[in-house]
Amino acid sequence: MMGFSEADIMAIWLTFKVACIATLLLLLIGTPIALWLAYTKSKWKGPISAIVALPLVLPPTVLGFYLLIAMGPHGPIGHLTETLGLNYLPFTFSGIVIASVFYSLPFVVQPIQNAIEALGQRPLEVAATLGAGPWDRFFSIILPLSRSGFMTAAILGFAHTVGEFGVILMVGGNIPGVTQVISVQIYDHVEAMEYNEAHWLAAAMVIFSFLVLTLIYSTSRRKKVTGGLYGS
């Protein structure tokens, strides 16, 4: 019987923390972007959509490499954090959270945008004529009616961050308890020929993800049934 080492447990906890914070940030950042993309008629819609979707195309190690350069002392983000009196981001917890947000952005923006687009302008126009302000419209119309889109976005954002490897490997520096997440730890075990430890950690990751996803999918289905009044 093999268990988890202290480093493994630290990696599990850290991954969970990164994924939760990144998902929260993703929803906060992704929602306004999705709203804008759904309703805008600006000529910038195309280019902005493309920028949001870019992480889908770029290999994670490539994205990670350029984030490393951008966040470093010679990069624009590095300059920014320096002038703000903050530390450079690579090899820090905040660094990998921010990298994760970049990396998972399309997975969060697109489902929300699709849900809002499916909703159409009409319910909002009706609400506006009834005197609802923009915040009111968002919280009482958009949010409840595109709940499944937000749910999907949160699940994908979370899952994608848990499974993230290449980007964190590049900007993380593999520091136990700070940037050494599960995927990196599994990779390390395999590289060090510690296959048993790798199997354990991988199994834990599969079971955890399966449970979380099952839980979310089954609760979201139930809600859909009771909230089926609005169709789709």
Partner 1 sequence: MILIFILSAPISVHAETVTVAAASNFGATLKKIIPAFEAETGHQVNLVLGSSGKIFAQIIHKAPFDVFLSADDIKPKKLEDQDITVQESRFTYAIGKIVLWSPEIKIINGSIVQSGKFNRLAIANPKLAPYGMAAVEVLKSLGLYETVRPKIIQGENIAQTYQFVATGNADLGFIALAQLSQKELSNKKDNIWLIPDTLYSPIRQDAVMLKSGQNNKAAHDFMQFLRSYTAQKIIQGFGYEIPKEKEEKE
Instruction: Work out the burial of residue 112: count CB atoms within 10 Å of its CB; fewer than 13 is exposed, 13-18 middle, 19 or more buried.
Output: buried
Question: Can you give the binding site for partner 1, defined by CB under 8 A?
Answer: 65, 68-69, 71-74, 88, 90-91, 169-170, 173-175, 187-188, 190-193, 195
**Pick 1 or 193: Cβ nearer partner 1:** 193
**Least distance from C-beta 223 to partner 1, angstroms?**
43
**Pick 64 or 157: Cβ nearer partner 1:** 64
Question: 42: how many CB neighbours lie within 10 A of its CB?
Answer: 11
**Least distance from C-beta 176 to partner 1, angstroms?**
9
**Least distance from C-beta 68 to partner 1, angstroms?**
6
Can you say whether the dihedral through the CA atoms of 101, 106, 110, 111 is positive or negative? negative
**Pick 161 or 179: Cβ nearer partner 1:** 179
**Least distance from C-beta 22 to partner 1, angstroms?**
21
Residue whose pair of structure tokens reads 């199997």 in the numeric block: 199
**Pick 162 or 169: Cβ nearer partner 1:** 169
The helix (run of H) or strand (run of E) holding residue 103 is helix 93-119
For residues 29 and 226, give the distance between their C-alpha atoms in angstroms, rounded to a whole number: 29
